[in-house]
Structure 1
Amino acid sequence: LRREDVAAAHRVPSFQKKKTPSLIVQFGSRMTRDQWIAKAKELRDLTANSINKNFPRSRVFISEHLTPESKVLLARTKEKCRAIGWKYVWCREGKVFCRRADEEKCVRVDSLDDLAELK
């Protein structure tokens, strides 16, 4: 990671007092952001030390930062899809998608009303 890859970075306090606050990073380009997210998915056991040798060996989770509304929509979509046996739910660029099975077409979920149409 180079300094010019990061446009801004800040911590967001957690409601859990003992938890280290999340670090929000705004990348300079979508391409850089997408590369980091893709690499993080590849490396399941990512640690802070693997990003920078000066950091501790604590585990790191990398994902898109979602608006509160998108977080709720993603959580409810996961609940609904689990209940009806759909296999995949994910978020990309702030949009929620789901898919019943490997070979099937993905469905974009734009609102809680869309969940009623999933069967």
Structure 2
Amino acid sequence: MMRTPEKSCSFPDMANMDSDSSLSYAMLRNKRKRSDDIINNLEDVKNELKFEIKSLFEEFSLAQKDQTNTIITTLKDIQHTNSHLNNTITFLCEENSELRKKIEQLEIESRKDKEQIILLENKFEENLRTEKKSNIEIKNVPLKGDEKKKDLLNMVLLLSKKLELDIKQTEVKDIMKLNKNKNQQNTTLVVEFNSTLIKNDFIRASKLYNNKNKNNKLSSKHLGIGSNPDIQIFVSENLTPKAARLFYLARDLKTVKHYKYCWTNFGKVYIRHDDSSPIINITSESQVQQLLNK
């Protein structure tokens, strides 16, 4: 048997329902409540978002403000440092300029001092050369060491006779022995005559004798020294220390550069390449070096 289904309590014709019915009112009120909740929730979310954004913006603003303050402080420090550096650089530039002026002034004074020193040295050299203008040296003399001036004088007078010179005892003003160096076995006699004419004659006669007697040049036997008769002796001008140094260098120059002549005259040093070349007066060590470099 078929049962007739019971009628449902639904209202399919909702469009024709009475709007005043309690069911209709209840259903509509429920829908409005649910919509209001959603709207309220959205408002809450919106407000929360606004609050969060505002909070984040305020935090960001504070952070930016702190960073800006830090940057401003750093910039001020940099500006202060730069200002200090600029002042320091300006001061150093001014000081450097002053130092340059002082250095230039000192260089000028130094040049003047050097010129003055050279003038004084030349003056001293000239005075010393004048004092020695009548002196000769007899080098490599083998003395015992106990000889007196009278013994030395007799040696010089004996040598003058060998040179065929008529030198009297009164024409010898003084005679002395130079101190020997540690490496020297023999000594040097310095003889001072009364005039440069006698000195020049003595040196000239010595050179002439050696040129004529190449196998029997002047030696200690011509001084009357019998203990060492075969030791060669050398007669030359009595030079100043500066002239002696230049003469030594000039002789080396003569050997290296094959100069023909090297000699001294009146305490000055001269050199000459050959018979047709000019005579060169050697006045300084730098001049010798320049000639060596040619």
CA distance in 1 between counterparts of 2:237 and 2:181 reads 19
RMSD across aligned positions (CA): 2.0
- What is the number of equivalent residue pairs in this alignment? 116
Q: Alpha-carbon deviations, 1:35-86, whole Å to 9, x = none?
A: 00000001111245546xxx22534321111122111111112212322222
CA distance in 1 between counterparts of 2:260 and 2:184 reads 34
Letter in 2 for 1:46: L
- TM-score with structure 2 setting the length: 0.36
Match of 1:9, SS?
strand
Match of 1:56, SS?
coil
Letter in 2 for 1:66: L
- 2:238 maps to 65
CA distance in 2 between counterparts of 1:90 and 1:30 reads 17
The one of 43, 46, 49 aligned to 2:218: 46
Cα deviation, residue 103, structure 1: 2.1
The one of 15, 19, 24 aligned to 2:185: 19
1:115 aligns with 2:281: no
1:92 aligns with 2:261: no
Letter in 2 for 1:68: P
Letter in 1 for 2:200: D
- TM-score with structure 1 setting the length: 0.84
Match of 2:173, SS?
strand
Distance 1:43 1:16, change over 3 A: farther
Match of 1:63, SS?
strand
Distance 1:115 1:17, change over 3 A: closer
More displaced 10-residue stretch of structure 1: 34-43 or 79-88: 79-88
Task: Give the structure with higher Rg (CA).
Answer: 2
Distance 1:17 1:30, change over 3 A: same
Stretches of structure 1 that go unaligned for 5 or more consecutive residues are none
Stretches of structure 2 that go unaligned for 5 or more consecutive residues are 1-166, 211-216
- 1:105 maps to 278
CA distance in 1 between counterparts of 2:233 and 2:285 reads 30
- 1:29 maps to 195
- 1:56 maps to 225
CA distance in 1 between counterparts of 2:248 and 2:219 reads 26
